Amino acid sequence: MRRKSWSLPRPKPLPYDAIAFQDKPRADRLKRATQAWAINGYGAPVSVYAFYVIKVFLFVLGAVGVCHFSSSWLDTQPLSNNLFQPDCFKRIILWALTYEVLGFGCGSGPLTARYLPPFAACFHFGRAKTFKLPLFKTLPFVSGHHRSYLEAGAYWLFIGLLMTAITSPKIESGLLSLILILLLILTLSDKTIFLAARGEHYGTMAVCFLFEDQWLVGVMSVQVALWLWAAVSKLTPHFPSVVATMVSNSAVIRKPRLRQWLYRRYPDDLRPSVLTQAMAHSGTFIEFAFPLCLVFGDGGPATTIGLFAMVLFHIYITIHCPVAVPLEWNVVMIYGGLFMFLSQPSTAFLSPVTPVLGSFLVFALVLVPAWGQLRPQSVSFLLAMRYYAGNWPYSVWLFKDKSISVLEQKAVTASRHPKQQLGRLYGPDVVAGSLQLVEAFRAMHLQGRPLNSLLPRAVDGENDYDYHDGEVIAGWLLGWNFGDGHLHNEQLLNAVQEQCQFKSGELRCIFVEGQPLLRREMDWRIVDAADGLLERGSTTIDMLFDQQPWPEPTVRSEVDDAP
């Protein structure tokens, strides 16, 4: 009897022929792809979700493991008591920072178009001649668009110092200071590294650890700020479409009939339903309410309610496997909330701090996020703490006549383009379908609607250009991406043009900024790699509510030119 050959689990097949639709008009192709996303999501096989479950388990196992190096670890106590020791909390935060900056956490694996390898950041940050984004263009020694051997070595030194700190019997302030100084240097060299390390969370908490008697109030302030600013960011109209898109890709809600309830009238009207809008508004209320319960609950029933809601809130996000897969980060948020508001004095949050620590906290937790909410073009959405609000900057890169092959030949990267990675695992039908679903994912969000008007303005003959979402470009060229469109704006475009020297019209980019908190417009720019800025303007949010994810000639789609 012939044995059945082994093959990779295949994604859920699309309800249409993806190869046949490659040459169709964008409106037809996008309509079919968004309708498929609405009931199938990315269509990932169950084994992909198993990959993330195993990864989270290994992260937790590593967190418990590093705690055993603590001199305060007592084998005679229950595990839960040991994990909630202050020294263990510090180690787990540094372990999470290490895990993230290696690329094992956010933005990893198949759900972020990383297949072979599923983790690329460490291979990119620690390799010379790769693309980088210096924080300042003219700073001596660290400017330039390509990583030097010294900068690559500094990254591995940073990893070594982190591992030394979390495996030492005691986390010495001198070593911690050296780690933070090196993180600052690496950030000046490549701002991507700071974001990959989740510096706005773990890095800020590590600074608080330097204040030996007051670090607890510092980390409590960081944790509460993360929750509250994330809630503030959801006060724009974008969040309902985020909920619909995320739940359509859920790891647990897999019935197409249930997913159809997320939309007003599937398959012809994919705007968020009343149910989805209620889910979004309820989630925003809960994200405001439970941190306030924790801060002012004083250890009583309100604190208990706040902790219960907090745990359920982060579990809900985790089990839905949002495409950016911040799964380990949500685990750390749960652990941090329990450590701070269950095992520590309830009055610690209101304790006075020194002027130095107080000034740092006001700057990092109040001024920077507030400015990022009001002027999103100036601050990374991570530093502004605008988490998963559907209101991020993004870009689209359009390569004419396969001109992307020039970039593929010249760029030094840790992995091949996701299209090529996927092509090593599956046939052309899966590759074509996956790329169309990436485009559909962007279109499903309210913020993606301006593309229906901007693409025809950017290029003549859309089918003559290869469409690439900026997130895919950043993940490939920078080794890491996590929804921050500022990683793939003009700075990266200039670096690419410097190396490839594209001719006029060979590479066009559309850059769209997030919506400011107190404005009703989204700013955009159309830029040619060779010719520079071609056009800029803004799109009024109100005109997007009646639009479907795909272009419709009967829908008002004009945009406002900038003055």
- How far is C-alpha 282 from the chain's CA centre? 23
Q: What is the pLDDT of residue 2?
A: 42
DSSP assignments along 91-127, one per residue: HHHHHHHHHHHTTSSTT-SGGGT--SSS--HHHHHTS
The 10 Å CB-count burial string (b at 16+, else e) for 493-503 is bebbbebbebe
Q: What is the pLDDT of residue 193?
A: 97
Q: What is the pLDDT of residue 323?
A: 86
Domain boundaries along the sequence of the chain:
20-42+392-561, 46-212
Please state whether the predicted TM-score (pTM) of the whole model is above 0.85.
Answer: yes
Please report which residue ranges of 168-273 form alpha helices under DSSP H.
173-189, 191-196, 204-209, 215-233, 239-248, 256-260
Q: What is the mean pLDDT, run by run of 10 residues, along the chain of 563 residues? A: 54 90 91 95 90 96 92 68 89 98 94 91 96 92 92 97 95 96 97 97 97 93 96 93 93 89 96 96 96 91 95 94 91 96 79 92 97 94 90 95 92 93 91 93 94 94 91 96 94 96 96 93 96 96 92 57 46
- Asked if 415 and 123 touch (Cβ cutoff 8 Å), the reply is yes
- Asked if 132 and 61 touch (Cβ cutoff 8 Å), the reply is no
* 85-88 contacts, C-beta under 8 A, 24 or more apart: 86/216, 87/170, 87/171
Q: Which two tokens stand for residue 218?
A: 């510092």
Q: What is the pLDDT of residue 237?
A: 92
